[in-house]
Amino acid sequence: MGKQVTIAPYNAAFFRLYETFYNVLHRDLGSDGFRIWKQVLRDGLFLAYDSSGAKRLGGVEEFFKFVGERDAGVGLNVSFEKTADGFIYRFFTDPFPGLKGRIDWNDLVDSYLAPKTAYFLGPDWSYRTTKHRWDGAECTEHVFVRKS
């Protein structure tokens, strides 16, 4: 299992830029700002996966490989665990600590998990967050299952 860590300073600047972008959009545009922010995250993730050779709707193994590589590349400590009906995706690094108290963590989670799910797994999959670091958990834990 991964170890809880704080993001490295050279990677923190990357995430602080997204936090600043969210804060400005939210301040100036309200819910429209959040919608734009989510779209930017989605487009950025899709572009990153496309440029790394990931296969759209490539499935769980493709998710593990390319999401794991991308997360590591931006300084996130994550782990994956297969389960009988899906998998668990854990974050031991909080990518957006500056947004705590400014956004509901469920909305934040959806802004980065929805695109990853759409890209690699498709509409036959769902996820729920069972733990979150903002609530004092040792990690943020997302449980993915294939819809029946």
Q: What is the pLDDT of residues 73-102, one digit of tens each?
A: 999 999 999 999 999 999 999 999 999 999
Q: Which CATH number do you get for residue 48?
A: 3.30.1380.20
Give domain status of residue 105, yes or no.
yes
Give domain status of residue 56, yes or no.
yes
Report the alpha-carbon distance of residue 148 to residue 128 in Å, rounded: 15
pLDDT of 9 higher than 90: no
Going from the C-alpha of 13 to that of each of 16, 38, 67, 76, the distances in angstroms are 5, 19, 20, 13
Average pLDDT, the chain: 94
Give domain status of residue 3, yes or no.
no
- Domain extent for 79: 9-146
Give domain status of residue 107, yes or no.
yes
Report the alpha-carbon distance of residue 46 to residue 132 in Å, rounded: 25
Count how many domains the chain has.
1
Q: Please report, rounded to a whole number, the percentage of residues in the chain having pLDDT higher than 90.
A: 89
- Whether the CB-CB separation of 42 and 35 falls below 8 Å is answered with no
pLDDT of 138 higher than 80: yes
Q: Write the DSSP assignment of the chain as a string of letters.
A: -PPP-PPPHHHHHHHHHHHHHHHHHHHHHTHHHHHHHHHHHHHHHHHHHHHTTPPTT--HHHIIIIIHHHHHHTT--EEEEEETTEEEEEESS-S-GGGBTTB-HHHHHHHHHHHHHHHHT-TTEEEEEEE-GGGT-SSEEEEEEE--
Give domain status of residue 97, yes or no.
yes
Q: What is the pLDDT of residue 99?
A: 96
pLDDT of 8 higher than 90: no
Strand-pair partners of 86: 83, 145
Q: What is the pLDDT of residue 2?
A: 55
pLDDT of 1 higher than 80: no
Q: List pLDDT tens digits, range 54-71.
A: 999 999 999 999 999 999
Give domain status of residue 2, yes or no.
no
Q: Please report, rounded to a whole number, the percentage of residues in the chain having pLDDT higher than 70.
A: 97
Give domain status of residue 4, yes or no.
no
Give domain status of residue 116, yes or no.
yes
